[in-house]
Structure 1
Amino acid sequence: MQANERFRRSKIKCIHQGEPPCQNCLRNGRTTEGDCILSVPDIVRTKRRRTSEHAHVPIGGDEQSRNESIDADCESCALNGVSITNHVSRSSDIWAATSRTDILQAASTFCRKFPELSFLHLGTFDFDSGDGTILLLKAALMALSCTSDQQNEYVAYVKTGISGMLLEPPMLETVQTLLVLAMLEWGHGRGYSAWMTTGTAIRMIQSFETMKGPTKLSELNQEIYNRTFWSCFIMDRLVFCGKSQPFTLPLEQMCIHLPLGDQDFAFGQPSIPRIFVNDDRESIHNGIDYSYSILVRGFDIWARILKWVINGGRRQAGMTKPVNCPWAPGSPWRNLFDDLNRWRQMQQPRMRYPDVRAAGHVSLRQGEQFTFINLIYYVSILFLGREYIPFLPTPDSVPKGPVDPPLLEAMAPEGWWAERAYQLFNAAGQITSLIEELEALGSPLVTPFTGFCVFSAATMNAYVSSFPRMNHGNSQGFAEELLEINIQWLSSFKKVWPMGNGWFKTIVHTRSLYTKASRDRQRFQGKTRADFEALEASIHDSSGVSPLQEDDAPAAGSEGHNPNQTTGHEAEAALGLQQLSHPPTIPQPLMSPLDEMVPDELSIFNNQWNHVWPLWGEQQSGLTAAGCFQFDYDFASGYQHL
C-alpha cells in the first residue's frame, strides 16, 4: 500500500511558472530557496540570459522554443528530485565557499599557465554572473586550481550541469567549459574521456558555422570566438594520442583567420588586417605578441610528427627505399623536418631558447608562451631523431642509423647521423634546462603537455647516460644529472596530475633496462626493439596511461588504498634491485624517487615485457567489456565504467 502511494505520487506533474517554488512545493511548505528542484542554480531548468553577443550563435531554433523547454512537465520535486536536491545542496556549498577573488585568481592562472587554451578575455568575463553557462565555466576554471577534494566537487558540478546542455542549441561558454574539462580529464589519465569531451566541443563549435565565420559580432567577441575555435583545434592535436584516425579539424580546410596578437586581443581592436592560414603575410606573426598564432601552427606540425611515428614511422611500407630515406628531399621524414624548421625560422630570434633565456619573458609575464613554443620545437626534434636510432644499442655503438630491420637501402651523407644524434640529445637537454630555469625563476609550468615533454626528455637522457657513445661522448658527464632533474620533476608532477604515474613507471623500466643492457652485453646480445614493443609504445604514449597499471593497481572498489603508499610488490622490487646491484651486507640508500619503484630485474630478462604489457592502442582505452563498452583507468580505484 505504501509502495502504491509512492507510485501514485511520483506521477504528479510539477506545475510551475518557470520559477521556483512549484505548486507542489508550495503545498508542502518547501518555500526556502534551494528546497525546490527548480532552484538548481542555472544548470538545466533555469532560464538563460544573453550576457554578451558571443554567448549565443545557435544554428536552428529560436528563443521561444528554448524557453518552452524550460516549462516542460517535470516529475514530483518531493519524491523524484532526491539526487538533484542533493546536487543543489552541494552546489550551494561550492559557491558559498568560493569568493570572487578565488574565481579571479583561477581565471588569471588559467590564462597564464594554459597558453594552449587562450580564449578567456579577463577584461570582459562576467565574474559575477549567475548564468548557468558562466557558472559552469567558472567551476571548470576553479577545478584547475584547487586541491583534489575541492576539484572533485567542482568537476562533479560541471559534469552534472553540462549533461543537460549537450543537445541544446550551442553556446560559446559551453564549448569553453568542455575544453577545460577535457584538459582535466587528460591530466588525470582518462585519455578516452578527454578525447570524447574534445570531440563534443568541436562538434559544437562547428555548429556555429565556423567555416563562414560569425558576421554579427564585435571585433572583440569575434576574436573570443576565433580563439575558442583554435583552442578546439589544439586540443584535437593534444588528445588524439597518435591514433590512426584523421584529425577532426584539418588545417588545410580551415577558412578562419589566425589569432590576433595578444595586445590586440586584450584591447579588442586589431592593429593589422586579419591573416588566414597559408596567407603570404603569415610570417608577420613572428613575435611573442603573436604567440597563440605560432602555437596553432606548431601544434599542428607536432601532431603530424607524432602521428607518423605512432603509425609505424620508419617501419611503414616503403620507408626503406632510397626515395623515402630521411635525408632524401620529399621523403615523409624530410617533409616533417622541413616544416618544423620553416616554422622555427619564421620566429623572431628572441623566441628561440637557449639563445634567449626565459628570464626576460618571465619578467614580462610571457614565460609560459615562450616555453610552449620552445617545447614544441624540441619535443618534435626529439621524436624525429629518436625514430632512427637503435632502441637498444651496444655499449660501443655510435650513430649510424637503424641496426634492426627494416634496414635502409641507401647510405646517409657523411656526418648526417652524427648531426641527428647531436640534435636529438641536445633537444632532451634543452627541454630539461628550460623547465629547470622556470622553476628557479619561481614560475613553474606544471601542465599535461609540459609533463609529456619532460617525460620524453627523460627517456633520451636515460638512453645517453647508459650509451654515451651514441652522442660521441658529447653528453657524458651531465646526462645523468639531467636525468635526475627529470626524475625529481616527474615525481612532483604526478602528485598534481595522475597521468604522471604512468610516465614515472615507464621511466623506471626504461632506466633499468638501459642500465643493465650497458653493463651486461652478453645477456642482451641480439635484443632489438621487437623484444620490447610494449615498452617502446609506452615511451611514445602522450596520454600517460601506464602499461603497468594492471600489475600494481588495487582492485576496483578496494578500501584503504593509499595511492602514495609503496605496495609490497614495489618494496620487493626495490629490495631485489639492491640485492642484484650490491653485496647484501652493504645497505644502500635510495638515491632518487625512482628507487622507490624499481621493477623486478628478472622481468627484463625473461622476455615477458610484451606479454605483461598491453600494446599501445589497448592501453589507451583500458579494458574492453562485452558489447565493446570502453573503460578508463582511475589510479585511485581501478577500472571504472565511463
Structure 2
Amino acid sequence: MKQPMRSSIACLRCRRSKIKCDNDGGNSPCDTCIKGGHQCQYPEATSLAPKRIDPPASGRQEKDGPHERKRARKLDEAPGLDSEKSMAYAEEILTYPFLTIELWDQLFAIYKQHFATELSFIHLPTLKEKMSRRQGQKQHHSSELNLVLLGILTLTARFHTDLVKYVAHLSSQQGGNVRPRTIQHKPDPIAASEFFANALTTALGPLRTAMTVVTVERVQAFLMLGLFEWSQRHAFSNSSAWMYVGVAIRMAKLLRLGLDDHIMKIREARVAVTHESRTRSSEIGIIRESRRRTMYSCLVLDRMMACGSERAMSIPLESIGIQLPCSEMAFDLALDVYTGYLRCPEESTSRKVNDDSTLSRFVQLVAIWSDISQYSTAGGRSQETASPWDSRSTFRQLRERLDRFHMDLPDTFTLSRQNYYRHDNHQATNTYVSLHMLSSVCQIILNREYLPFLPIRCGRPQGPLSSAQYPARDRFWEETADNVFRASRDILDLVEICKDKLPQSCLTVFAVWLSGFMAVYAHQFPIMDIQQRMVVSEIIERDMDESTSVLEGATTRMSCQALHKLTKYLPVAQNYLAYLEELNQYFVDAKSHFNRQANNADPMSNPSFGVRRLSIRPVGDTGLDESYTKADKASPESPSDDGQRSQHDEGSDRSRGSSWEPVRSMGVPEDHQGASNSTHGPSISPALSFSAMGSSAGLRSGLAESPPVVLEHRGEGLSAKAPPMGDTGKPPSLLSESQLLLPSLDEGSFQQSIPEFSMEKLEMIESQRIGKVLNDLEEFAGAGSLGIGAP
C-alpha cells in the first residue's frame, strides 16, 4: 500500500476535525475529503468566509460514511428506476459536495478547449450564472438542464485529475459492505467519464421515456453521448456513437431546428413587436443561436460518422434553412448579426454578411469534407472515367472547391503562427486548430487517391500504374504529391505549436494518424517528397539501414509521440499507433525482398525490374490495368456506391497559398536514416501479400520459398498482440443471444483480404489505392477497422 505523503499543510475540514491530512502539499484534494466526497479547501487558496457556504450538515459529515456509500451503490439500482426517479437520481449526482463552482469553471474551460467545435451549443455565460444560483440552494432545478450538465461531466471528467480521484473512490464504494480503506482503486480517467456517462443514460429515463420526451436539451445530451462513445470506440460498441447521434438528429428534425429562422420570420411578420419582447430580445437571441448551433452540431457529427459502407448521411444540406453559427463574441453578448447560410436562399443573396467566424467556416468545410469522404469510400479514382486534370472528373471538381475555400478565408483565419497566437489570446484556438486539421485531412484524403501505395519503382512522384502510357499535365503528379506532404507537415506543425492546448478529439487523432502514415511513407520512399517537407536531405544522401525503426525519423517520431499522448484520453489512438509500426515494417520487408529478387534477376530478360514511369489512362479507365480492374471488381472488398454522388461545383484552378511559417524545432535528434533512393534500388517481394488475418502475429516477409509479407488489421482498441475482436473483449452481459443469426454474416467480424500476388502482378500491388489498403476512413467513422475492407 502506498504510504500517504506527509504535508505541513492541512485542509480546513481536517483542521476542524483535528485529524491527519494526507495530501500532496495543497495542490489537490486530500485523501480524507476524496473518501468522503467533500470539497477540499486549504487556507492559502480560499478565505474562511466562502467555506461557510457549505450545507449546514457539514459539521456532521465526518460520520456520513454510510450515507455516502449508500448513494454510490445507487448506480447498481439505476437501470430499474422510472422516469421520475431518474430525474431525482440526476439531481443527486449533481449535488455531490465536490462539484463546486470552482470545479465547474475548470470543467467549462476543458469543454471549451476540447469540444467547443463539434458541440458549440453551450452558452457558457448563461450556464455559469445558473450554476452560481444553484450553489447551496435546495430549490427545484431544471431536469433537462441536468442532462446537459451530466453530458459535460461525461466529456470532461477524464481530463480533470481531482475529479478522477473522487470518482475512483465512489467506484470503490460499490462493493457493498467492504470498507473503503480495504479497496485501492487506481484512478482511471476513462472510468471517470464512464461513471458520468452511465449516470446520464440513467437520467434520460427508461427507453420509452427517452424516445418520447423530445427537447433541445435531450438532443444535446444524445450528441454528447455520441461524441463520447465515438472517442472510446469499444470493440463491443462500435455502432453506439452512430446510434446516439441518429437519435439526436431525429429529435432535432421533430423540433424543426433546421427551420427556426424561417418560422420566426413568418411569426415576426404577423405579430407586432411588443415592449416585453424587446426586453427579452437578448435572452431570445441566445436561445435561437443555441438551437442553431445544436442543429449544426448534428450536421457535423452526421458528416464525420457517415464514412464507409452503409453509413448514409441523415441530414440533406437543403433541409437546413438557418443562419451559420455566429462568432463567439456575438454569441456571448447576444448580438443580432447576419452570418449567411450554408445554402444561400434567393432572398438573402443581397444581404451582406456582417459577422464571420472560424466556426462558420468549419461548418462550410465539413460540407466539402462529406463529399470528399464519400468520393473516397465509394472507390475514389477507380470510379473515374476521366483524367484527374480533366474538368469533368470528380477529383478536379473537389480539388477546385477546396482551393476556393482556402482562398476565400479571411487573412486572420489562414494558417500561420501569428494567427494561432491571435486566436489563443482570445481563448479561441480550439475551432481555429480544428478548422486547419480538417483542411489538412481533406487535402490528404483527396490527393492521396493518385499516389501509388508502393512507389518502389518510381524515380519521381508518379500516378497509378496503367498499361497504356499517356502524358500527364505538366508537374501534375509532383503537385498532387506535394499537396499531401504539405498538409501532413501542417498537421505536425499545429501539434507542435499547440502543445498542451491541442484539442483532444477524434478529428485530431485521425489527422495525426494521416500525417504519421505520410511520414512513414516519406521515410521509406523519400523520392516522393520532392520538397522534403516530411524528410530531411541527409536521408536521400546516404543509404538507409532497412531495419531502422519508424520512431527514428523526426517526423515519424513527432507523430508517434502525439498519438501516444492522445491514448491516455482517446483509446482509439492506440490502434493507429500500433498500425504505424506494422506499416513501417511492411514497407521495409517489401523493399528488402524486392531488392534481393531484382539483384538476382537479369534486367535484360525481365523488363519489369528497374525504374519505370507510371501514368494513367485519361478517359475510360480507372487508372489501373485491366487485370487489376477485373480483380478489384471480383474482390468482395470492392467498395460499393450506396448513394448518388453529390454534384460538385466547378471553379477556379487556383492553388492554395499557405502563409504558415514552419515550426521545425522539437528537440528531436535528426540522426535518423531515410529510405534508399528508388532510382538505385526498387524493392518488393515477388510473392507480396496483403492479408487481413484473425490475430496479429506480426509482419513476415518472404520470397517464393518463405512466408509472404503480411499486413495485419487492427481490431478496435486492441494492441498489436491482442486477440481479434469478438474474443474476450466483450462483457458477458452484452453478448448477443439472438436466435436469428446467420452463420455467414453475424458470427465474428468480416475479414477481407487482398489476394497474394506474385512478382508478375507487381503493378497491381503498386497501384493499390492507399485508402482502400488502410481502410482508415471507416476506422475514423467507427464503421470499420484499420486494414479491413467492407465486404
Q: Which amino acid aligns with 2:203?
A: G
Is residue 515 from structure 1 mapped to residue 582 from structure 2 by the alignment? Answer: no
Is residue 158 from structure 1 mapped to residue 200 from structure 2 by the alignment? Answer: yes
Per-residue CA distance 1:176-197 (angstroms, 9 max, x = gap): 1111111110000144111010
Match of 2:557 in 1: 484
Contact 2:230/2:241 (8 A) holds in 1: yes
Match of 1:139 in 2: 150
Match of 1:353 in 2: 415
Q: Which amino acid aligns with 2:251?
A: M
Measured in 1, the distance between the counterparts of 2:364 and 2:468 equals 31
Is residue 310 from structure 1 mapped to residue 377 from structure 2 by the alignment? Answer: yes
Aligned match for 2:483, one of 393, 399, 423: 423
Give how far 1:270 is off: 1.5
Which residues of 2 match residues 4-23 of structure 1 at below 5 A? none
Give how far 1:626 is off: 5.9
**CA 1:626/1:613 → structure 2, altered by over 3 Å: closer, same or farther?**
farther
Give how far 1:613 is off: 6.9
Match of 2:512 in 1: 454
Contact 2:482/2:531 (8 A) holds in 1: no
Measured in 2, the distance between the counterparts of 1:429 and 1:410 equals 31
Match of 2:232 in 1: 188
Say which SS state the counterpart of residue 118 (structure 1) adopts: coil
Per-residue CA distance 1:574-623 (angstroms, 9 max, x = gap): xxxxxxxxxxxxxxxxxxxxxxxx973416874574787799xx989999
Which residues of 2 match residues 121-520 of structure 1 at below 5 A? 121-125=123-127, 126-127=130-131, 128=134, 130-146=141-157, 147-164=189-206, 165-189=209-233, 190-213=237-260, 215=264, 218-272=284-338, 275=341, 277-278=343-344, 289-316=356-383, 319=384, 321=385, 324-354=386-416, 356-394=418-456, 396-403=458-465, 410-439=470-499, 442-472=500-530, 474-475=532-533, 476-477=535-536, 480-520=553-593
Identify the structure with bigger relative contact order (alpha carbons < 8 Å, sequence gap 6+). Answer: 2
Measured in 2, the distance between the counterparts of 1:120 and 1:399 equals 47
Give how far 1:281 is off: 5.5
Per-residue CA distance 1:522-578 (angstroms, 9 max, x = gap): 468899999999xxx9xxxxxxxxxxxxxxxxxxxxxxxxxxxxxxxxxxxxxxxxx
Contact 2:326/2:357 (8 A) holds in 1: yes
Q: Percent identity?
A: 21
Contact 1:325/1:410 (8 A) holds in 2: no
Measured in 2, the distance between the counterparts of 1:236 and 1:207 equals 16
**CA 1:502/1:296 → structure 2, altered by over 3 Å: closer, same or farther?**
same
TM-score by length of 1: 0.67
Contact 1:325/1:408 (8 A) holds in 2: no
Contact 2:388/2:395 (8 A) holds in 1: yes
Aligned match for 2:698, one of 592, 600, 606: 600
Q: Which amino acid aligns with 1:349?
A: D
Measured in 2, the distance between the counterparts of 1:512 and 1:94 equals 53
Which residues of 2 match residues 62-101 of structure 1 at below 5 A? 88=89, 92=93, 95-101=96-102
Per-residue CA distance 1:69-112 (angstroms, 9 max, x = gap): xxxxxxxxxxxx9xx89x95995497343223323322332133
The more displaced of 458-467 and 149-158 is 149-158
Measured in 1, the distance between the counterparts of 2:484 and 2:433 equals 18
Contact 1:223/1:265 (8 A) holds in 2: yes
Match of 1:13 in 2: none
Measured in 2, the distance between the counterparts of 1:228 and 1:630 equals 38
Match of 1:113 in 2: 114
Say which SS state the counterpart of residue 210 (structure 2) adopts: coil
**CA 1:356/1:329 → structure 2, altered by over 3 Å: closer, same or farther?**
farther
Per-residue CA distance 1:248-282 (angstroms, 9 max, x = gap): 01213322222122222111121337545235759
The more displaced of 488-497 and 407-416 is 407-416
The more displaced of 194-203 and 330-339 is 330-339
Per-residue CA distance 1:336-366 (angstroms, 9 max, x = gap): 1111112211211221213745222212212
Contact 1:375/1:431 (8 A) holds in 2: yes
Contact 1:508/1:599 (8 A) holds in 2: no
Measured in 2, the distance between the counterparts of 1:191 and 1:207 equals 26
Contact 2:231/2:572 (8 A) holds in 1: yes
Say which SS state the counterpart of residue 212 (structure 2) adopts: coil
Measured in 2, the distance between the counterparts of 1:630 and 1:172 equals 39
Contact 2:113/2:503 (8 A) holds in 1: no
Say which SS state the counterpart of residue 460 (structure 2) adopts: coil
Contact 2:701/2:709 (8 A) holds in 1: yes
Measured in 2, the distance between the counterparts of 1:352 and 1:108 equals 25
Q: Which amino acid aligns with 1:433?
A: D
Contact 2:586/2:709 (8 A) holds in 1: no
**CA 1:259/1:98 → structure 2, altered by over 3 Å: closer, same or farther?**
same
Measured in 2, the distance between the counterparts of 1:477 and 1:397 equals 18
**CA 1:245/1:517 → structure 2, altered by over 3 Å: closer, same or farther?**
same
Say which SS state the counterpart of residue 95 (structure 1) adopts: coil
Match of 2:605 in 1: none
Give how far 1:408 is off: 7.9
**CA 1:251/1:464 → structure 2, altered by over 3 Å: closer, same or farther?**
same
Give how far 1:212 is off: 3.1
Measured in 2, the distance between the counterparts of 1:236 and 1:489 equals 26
Contact 2:699/2:710 (8 A) holds in 1: no
Aligned length: 490
Give how far 1:520 is off: 3.9
RMSD: 4.3
Aligned match for 2:740, one of 618, 627, 641: 627
Measured in 2, the distance between the counterparts of 1:326 and 1:456 equals 22
Contact 2:699/2:712 (8 A) holds in 1: no
**CA 1:94/1:273 → structure 2, altered by over 3 Å: closer, same or farther?**
closer
Contact 1:378/1:431 (8 A) holds in 2: yes
Contact 1:283/1:346 (8 A) holds in 2: no
Measured in 2, the distance between the counterparts of 1:187 and 1:285 equals 35
Measured in 2, the distance between the counterparts of 1:273 and 1:463 equals 41
The more displaced of 255-264 and 239-248 is 239-248
**CA 1:604/1:419 → structure 2, altered by over 3 Å: closer, same or farther?**
farther
Per-residue CA distance 1:108-146 (angstroms, 9 max, x = gap): 321332212111001222333733222222112112222
Match of 2:661 in 1: none
* Structure 1: runs of 5 or more not aligned: 1-29, 47-80, 538-597, 634-638
Contact 1:44/1:161 (8 A) holds in 2: no
Say which SS state the counterpart of residue 602 (structure 1) adopts: coil
TM-score by length of 2: 0.55
Q: Which amino acid aligns with 1:491?
A: H
Per-residue CA distance 1:447-503 (angstroms, 9 max, x = gap): 111111000111111101110111236243189311110001101111211111211
Contact 1:532/1:609 (8 A) holds in 2: no
The more displaced of 150-159 and 97-106 is 97-106
